[in-house]
Amino acid sequence: MRFQITDLLKVSVLSAGIFLFVTDLFIINVSLPSMQQSLQLSTSETQWIIILYVIGYASLLISSGNAGNYYGRKKMYLIGMLGFTISSVICGVSEHIYILLFGRLLQGVSSGLMVPQGIALITSLFKQQEKRTLALGIYGSIAGIASVLGQLLGGILPDQSWINESWRLIFLVNIPVGIVALISVYSLIPRIEPDVNAKISYLPMFQLFGLLIGLVCPLILGPELHWPLWSILLLIGSLLLLFIFLKQQKKREQNSLSSLINFSLFDNKIFNLGLAAAFAYYMVQDAYFIINSNYLQLYKNFTPTMTGVAFVYQGIGYVIASIVVSKLVQKNGKSVILYGLTIMISGLIAHLYVYNQPAVVIYQVHVLFFYYGLGCGTVLPSLMTMAIKDIKTDLIGTASGIYLTIQQLSICMGIALVVGIYFHDQNSVFLSMENLSHAYGISAVISITLLVAAGLFMALLPMRKTGTVN
């Protein structure tokens, strides 16, 4: 059966959710220096702009699937898209940092509602395997395009002179996309009957949100406030609550009650090592964009547009590599990831030498970012595939939810720790490199260490399948 124009339209409008989520995840990285200067933000406030977005998304990620089953996937998708559009307005017109942070949190929560529904609706609408594979391929391509476009717009929009405080455009640009998506989904996507027997629990969602805030808050505010006693107590208390939360979830599973986590998954060595590698890797990923965008604009005289264009080369490298490795990862996933990590590590070392020049040559930055993008494109699409490749089919949804939650937690930790060290390091130069700040050098060393750790976890994976989780 051929893929019709109406099929393409349905996939496109259902991909609007992931498009907006990914675009706003990347668009903010290049725009942060402009926002920080315009709103006179502290370093911790700058970090919260990104982290609240990620925490809001991660808090709903596991529960959102059940909510879609219970209330109806189309309805939840529309609510999420409406929430994202309204929150973009709030961010775009905000005059105070706390209003902006509220808008960012609402954006993240809305993304957590709509992104899982988009994937589920595509899976439900396209029953035929060939059509479903093509539809999901288009969905993934749109997400990839969004990451490149987000970085480009994050540079171009804050440089506009026809509007005051032009950084606001990075949020306002979402409004027409959101309105068109709302109308299109309402008109084109058929309603799928909800499952009245589906179980949904709100308490774990609020518990997870509280735990993430409790873990991240002291890590962000601690260095800026010189580690007051409350920050240390909050961090210890959050770790204890996390232990109690996991123990409670395990007890519910043992008593045949609904649980967010299927603990039998952790009997699988490949899944455990895959999660550990992902945690180390994602601590580097978003931190890299934030640190390099900040460093180029504040230390190397790059404009936001120049920075955004440079990151497009990183995106191009990512897309090319991800296409090439897509056919290799099933058979050679471990080797593919190790090659990709080697590219990224050598790329970070090269960053130190290129940035140490008195005047950075633009084309060298483009080549450098493209090379680093090849490494990212080799590793990132392969990590999740490797982590869940031995999981039984009926547990893949749960395993994916756990993986994605760990991914978001890791991103938060990377921004809190790696970016935090970069912002707060007061030393002058790095080693004997007179034209490189110590803050950038030490953050690069930490990133390299984390990527080496990810490689070690990958190296421990068995070469052959160990059997699926029952």
Contacts of 345 (CB under 8 A, 6+ apart): 375, 448, 451, 452, 455
Alpha-carbon distance 90 to 109, whole Å? Answer: 14
Q: Enter the pTM of the model.
A: 0.86
Which string of b and e fits 309-325 if b means at least 16 CB within 10 Å? Answer: bbbbbbbbbbbebbeeb
pLDDT tens per residue, the chain (470 residues)? 576 788 888 889 999 999 999 999 889 988 998 898 888 888 889 999 999 999 999 888 767 777 787 788 899 999 999 999 999 999 999 989 999 999 999 999 999 889 888 888 888 888 777 777 788 778 877 887 888 899 899 999 999 888 888 999 999 999 999 999 999 999 988 887 777 666 666 777 787 788 888 888 898 888 888 889 999 999 999 899 888 888 888 887 788 776 767 788 888 888 999 999 999 999 999 899 999 999 999 889 899 999 999 999 998 998 888 888 877 766 676 888 899 999 999 999 999 999 998 888 999 999 999 999 999 988 987 888 788 777 776 677 678 778 888 888 899 899 989 999 998 887 777 888 888 899 999 999 999 999 999 999 999 987 655 444 44
- Render the burial of 82-120: b for 16+ CB within 10 Å, e for the rest: bbbbbbbebbbebeebeebbbbbbbbbbbbbbbbbbbbb
**Cβ–Cβ under 8 Å, residues 455 and 349:** no
Q: How far is CA 159 from CA 43, 150, 171, 307, in A?
A: 22, 15, 14, 11
